[in-house]
Amino acid sequence: MTNPTEAPNLPVPSARQLAWHAMEYYGFVHFTVNTFTDREWGYGDESPDVFAPTDFDADQIVGAAADGGMAGLILTCKHHDGFCLWPSRYTDHSVRQSSWRSGRGDVVREIAEACRARSLRFGVYLSPWDRNHPAYGSPDYVRYYRNQLEELTSEYGELFEVWFDGANGGDGYYGGARETRQIDRRTYYDWDATWEIVRRNQPGAVMFSDAGPDVRWVGNEDGIAGDPCWATITRESLYPGIDDADFQAYSADRMVDAWASPRDLLNRGDPAGADWLPAECDVSIRPGWFYHGAEDSAVRSGRNLLDLYLKSVGRGTNLLLNLPPDRRGRIPDADVRSLVEFRSLREALFAGDLIADGARVTAEGSPVAVLTDGKRDKYWTPAVPAAEPEILVDFGHPVEIATVSLREYLPLGQRVRGFAIDVDRDGSWVEHAAGQSIGARRLISGRPVATRRLRLRFTNTVAPPAISEVGVYGPNAGG
């Protein structure tokens, strides 16, 4: 039997990346002075008293995420305006200086604790760009930034992700200077030393930025990954971000189809990339990242969220869905309704399990039971290097197929470069769907098709495929 570990030197995920892949879907919480000034980017001159939630309820916020089936929450502990949602000892621009709760509030602590109470994982967003800080642009600010990162990564329990925003430098208050400050994205933060703080305090946390080091941006804020979307890319060429000349050159070398910009490279990844650097799709449930009353009627529907789920999680990335608390400090009812509707649509999508319903799964190679055990810790691999290894599913009677779910066994890397799904029409095979990437997960969902059998073919692989899941589901409300 082929030893699938004898493979080309494919990039593979780290333990922390594997744990992150397993999360699939979690939330973002954008909350700060902007919630009260009706802005998206605060200038940095807002008084701490502006932050005045009338009925802040961390458990309601985390409860909404939990009811929606999210695995965790990432909080904007400090957005570009520089106001800190925790009483940082390094600034006088935080909840400590606000009259909210007489300066004794700590939003970060309350959200972190509410997450723990409901078994959601917690993550932090700490904006590198700070439009309030007088020293922004000088080495003093970088020391300040690192001190804050130290506080957040050592005083709020275990974190699953630390989010570094790519927006950096521009005009701002800067302690009263009211000017424009640009920084050199390549050198200013000395990212290696900054990341070191997270590695030391939170060895299990992944770090997100446009270019990693652990998770990359998907290149848009629409919640949509490319098709295909590869978990691999060459990190060195991306650093420090999409505006960098090296990245432009690397991406120009890899332009395919009608790629418009380097963002398309982030969106799709590079199958020949040297690093495992999977994409995360960040998108808001409303048009803005922060709450605006004028957007109360523009909340995404559950069905719209399901569509994004199929285009993000269903293409092997994770979905980071933003839920902005309102001026009370709660998730509005309309948003909660959409989240719950989205959850039931998702559950309905996987409700009609046609394999559990007596189907026979066969394939040459290692035992196939692992494909349908609902776990990702084992894989099927073909016995001999076949030109087109295949897996057969015989339902034993006519069924209607609406959704197929596939997963590669990630510890052995992304090996599949092409696959096809055939259905049986009157005794002959007809191609029903085809794609290139599988990776963490591939969902194919659409109009139901009738068949007695299904065939999955691996049409292009760079090493024997190692597959950990094949799921087939019938039509229902979500199909």
Pairing outcome for strands 442-461 and 390-408? antiparallel
- Find, among 18, 2, 25, the residue nearest to 439 by Cα: 18
Q: Residues 13 to 52: which contact ligand FUL by CB under 6 A?
A: 40
Closest to ligand FUL by CB, 75 vs 454, is: 75
Closest to ligand FUL by CB, 78 vs 441, is: 78
Instruction: Tell me if residue 209 falls in helix, strand or coil.
Output: coil
Number of residues that bind ligand FUL (CB under 6 A): 6
344 φ, ψ (degrees, to nearest 5):
-70, -30
Closest to ligand FUL by CB, 40 vs 57, is: 40
Question: Do residues 148 and 126 make contact, with C-beta atoms less than 8 angstroms apart?
Answer: yes
Q: How far is the CB of 306 from ligand FUL (least distance, A)?
A: 22
Q: How far is CA 326 from the centre of its chain?
A: 23
- Find, among 220, 255, 268, the residue nearest to 435 by Cα: 268
Binding mask 206-245 for ligand FUL (x = CB under 6 A): ----------------------------------------
Q: Does 165 bind ligand FUL (CB under 6 A)?
A: yes
Q: How far is CA 164 from CA 211, 337, 461, in A?
A: 10, 30, 34
Question: Could you tell me which stretch among 162-170, 298-306, 341-349, 426-434 binds ligand FUL (CB under 6 A)?
Answer: 162-170
Q: How far is CA 120 from CA 205, 240, 247, in A?
A: 14, 31, 35
Question: Do residues 381 and 458 make contact, with C-beta atoms less than 8 angstroms apart?
Answer: no
- The answer for residues whose C-beta is within 8 angstroms of residue 5's C-beta and 6 or more apart is 412
Q: How far is the CB of 389 from ligand FUL (least distance, A)?
A: 41
The whole-angstrom separation of Cα 213 and Cα 220 is 18
Question: Do residues 380 and 391 make contact, with C-beta atoms less than 8 angstroms apart?
Answer: yes
The DSSP code for 441 is -
Q: Residues 248 to 287: which contact ligand FUL by CB under 6 A?
A: 282
Number of other residues whose CB lies within 10 A of the CB of residue 259: 16
Q: How far is the CB of 426 from ligand FUL (least distance, A)?
A: 51
Binding mask 410-429 for ligand FUL (x = CB under 6 A): --------------------
Question: Could you tell me which stretch among 81-89, 160-168, 192-200, 405-413 binds ligand FUL (CB under 6 A)?
Answer: 160-168
Closest to ligand FUL by CB, 188 vs 409, is: 188
List for the chain the helix, strand, coil content (%; round to 5): 30, 25, 45
Beta bridge partners of 3: none
Closest to ligand FUL by CB, 205 vs 454, is: 205
Q: How far is the CB of 478 from ligand FUL (least distance, A)?
A: 28
Q: How far is the CB of 289 from ligand FUL (least distance, A)?
A: 4
The DSSP code for 248 is H
The whole-angstrom separation of Cα 158 and Cα 206 is 12
Q: Residues 79 to 138: which contact ligand FUL by CB under 6 A?
A: none
Closest to ligand FUL by CB, 242 vs 399, is: 242
Q: How far is the CB of 180 from ligand FUL (least distance, A)?
A: 16
Question: Which one of residues 141, 188, 247, 289 is an interface residue with ligand FUL (CB under 6 A)?
Answer: 289
Q: How far is the CB of 423 from ligand FUL (least distance, A)?
A: 41
Closest to ligand FUL by CB, 191 vs 289, is: 289
Q: How far is the CB of 402 from ligand FUL (least distance, A)?
A: 33
Question: Largest alpha-carbon pair distance within the chain?
Answer: 77
Q: How far is the CB of 93 from ligand FUL (least distance, A)?
A: 18
Tokens read off for 318 = 């994770």
The whole-angstrom separation of Cα 52 and Cα 83 is 13
Closest to ligand FUL by CB, 11 vs 166, is: 166
Exposed (0-12), middle (13-18) or buried (19+): which is 260, by Cβ within 10 Å?
exposed
Closest to ligand FUL by CB, 127 vs 461, is: 127
Q: How far is the CB of 190 from ligand FUL (least distance, A)?
A: 21
Q: How far is the CB of 99 from ligand FUL (least distance, A)?
A: 26
Question: Which one of residues 1, 117, 167, 369 is an interface residue with ligand FUL (CB under 6 A)?
Answer: 167
Question: Could you tell me which stretch among 94-102, 152-160, 161-169, 303-311 binds ligand FUL (CB under 6 A)?
Answer: 161-169
Closest to ligand FUL by CB, 282 vs 422, is: 282
Tokens read off for 354 = 């046609």
Q: Show the DSSP H helices in 161-294 as ranges.
A: 191-201, 235-238, 245-253, 262-268
Question: Which one of residues 11, 134, 166, 474 is an interface residue with ligand FUL (CB under 6 A)?
Answer: 166
- The answer for residues whose C-beta is within 8 angstroms of residue 255's C-beta and 6 or more apart is 264
Residue nearest to ligand FUL (CB): 167
Binding residues (CB under 6 A) for ligand FUL: these are 40, 165-167, 282, 289
